[in-house]
């Protein structure tokens, strides 16, 4: 069944485009040292110190920052953390949502009441303000706190959606049959219910990941993240704080945002394709 789904996925134009873009970014992230002409915090080379706030040139395709760092290299290197933080957060969030959604939906009763209650509270609270508040109380060293903060504030939507689906799958016949046959609940959960919610889990993953990428960038932009790291978000922070706009330095703030958008589009496309594949009503044929 998984092989069929993969085949369908790849033949879908939207999915294919999304995957290609993702591979593009993964390549950049993995091969950063080879692709980037300079190090991310390199402010000089053999010919001397780099010019500060330089305009794009052959030597510095995207110019340099206020500290003389080559912006093109920073963009390349930034991909690593942006993608890394995004995907790790996505995985953690999806895992939380999956676990809570599965157990809450399948077991019902008190467990469900408690989890749903907490879930509803987190759903109602807008994520950005919550992230800001929590992040402003903690001083952030390294990227782990960022991942944690984003995960802990982002699991709500996925949990609710997965729980709904589990509830409806649970009522279907093959699950009832398994129950009557006396299979242990845990086995039912993993063998009967799980395969039927995979597309939803994938969708949750994509949504969470891109939300995390944007979330990380936002945190950095406001100045709440870890500004000593190099990510697309920190680039935007420095751009804003050095009045890149006023200095007409479009090469500073345009590319990082563009990359975020491109990655987001890739995920949106893949998400869309999964929707089309799993929901026959949306499929055109």
**Binding positions for another protein, rule: CB under 8 A:** 121, 123-130, 132-133, 136-138, 157, 210, 214, 217-218, 221-224, 236, 240, 245-246, 248, 250, 253-254, 256-257, 260-265, 267-269, 272, 281-282, 284-285
Least distance from C-beta 132 to another protein, angstroms? 6
Whose Cβ is closer to another protein: residue 12's or residue 50's? Answer: 12
| Cβ-based nearer residue to another protein, 230 or 273 | 273
Q: Would you list the DSSP string of 119-184?
A: HHHHHHS-HHHHHHHHHHHSPP-SSHHHHHHHHHHH-HHHHHHHHHHHHHHHTSHHHHHHHHTT--
Residue 65: exposed, middle, or buried by beta-carbon count in 10 A (0-12, 13-18, 19+)?
buried
Six-digit token pair at 115?
């989890």
- Of 188 and 224, which CB lies nearer to another protein in the complex structure? 224
How far is 227 from 225, CA to CA, in rounded Å? 6
Q: Which is nearer to another protein, 192 or 215 (CB)?
A: 215
- Cβ proximity to another protein: between 238 and 253 the closer is 253
Nearest approach, Cβ of 51 to another protein (angstroms)? 23
- Nearest distance from residue 160's CB to another protein, in Å? 9
Please state the closest distance from residue 57 (CB atom) to another protein, in A.
21
Q: What are phi and psi of 64, to 5 degrees?
A: -125, 165
* Pair 18, 273: CB distance under 8 Å: yes
**Nearest-approach distance from CB 224 to another protein, in angstroms:** 6
Reference 204, options 56, 107, 100; nearest CA is 100
Nearer to another protein, 50 or 237 (CB): 237
For residues 12 and 273, the answer to whether their CB atoms sit within 8 Å is yes
Q: Which is nearer to another protein, 194 or 272 (CB)?
A: 272
Q: How far is the CB of 137 from another protein (least distance, A)?
A: 4
Closest separation in Å from C-beta 140 to another protein = 12
d(CA 13, CA 18): 9
Instruction: Please give the C-alpha separations between residue 173 and each of 179, 186, 198, 238, in angstroms, as whole numbers.
Output: 10, 17, 19, 57
């Amino acid at each position: 069944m998984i092989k069929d789904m993969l085949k369908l996925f790849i033949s879908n134009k939207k999915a294919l485009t999304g995957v290609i873009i993702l591979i593009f970014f993964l390549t950049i992230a993995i091969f950063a040292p080879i692709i980037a002409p300079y190090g991310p915090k390199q402010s000089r080379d053999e010919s001397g110190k780099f010019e500060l706030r330089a305009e794009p040139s052959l030597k510095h395709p995207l110019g340099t920052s206020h500290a003389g760092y080559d912006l093109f290299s920073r963009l390349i290197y930034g991909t690593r953390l942006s993608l890394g933080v995004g995907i790790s957060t996505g995985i953690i969030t999806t895992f939380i949502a999956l676990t809570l959604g599965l157990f809450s939906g399948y077991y019902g009763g008190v467990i469900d009441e408690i989890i749903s209650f907490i879930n509803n509270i987190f759903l109602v609270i807008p994520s950005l303000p919550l992230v800001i508040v929590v992040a402003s109380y903690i001083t952030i060293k390294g990227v782990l706190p960022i991942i944690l903060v984003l995960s802990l504030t982002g699991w709500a939507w996925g949990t609710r959606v997965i729980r709904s689906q589990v509830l409806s799958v649970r009522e279907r016949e093959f699950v009832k049959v398994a129950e009557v046959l006396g299979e242990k609940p845990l086995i039912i959960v993993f063998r009967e219910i799980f395969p039927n919610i995979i597309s939803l889990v994938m969708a949750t993953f994509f949504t969470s990941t891109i939300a995390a990428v944007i979330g990380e960038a936002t945190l950095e932009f406001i100045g709440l993240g870890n500004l000593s790291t190099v990510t697309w978000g920190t680039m935007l922070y420095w751009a804003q704080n050095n009045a890149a706009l006023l200095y007409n330095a479009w090469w500073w703030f345009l590319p990082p945002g563009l990359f975020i958008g491109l990655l987001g589009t890739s995920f949106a496309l893949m998400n869309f394709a999964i929707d089309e594949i799993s929901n026959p009503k949306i499929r055109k044929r």
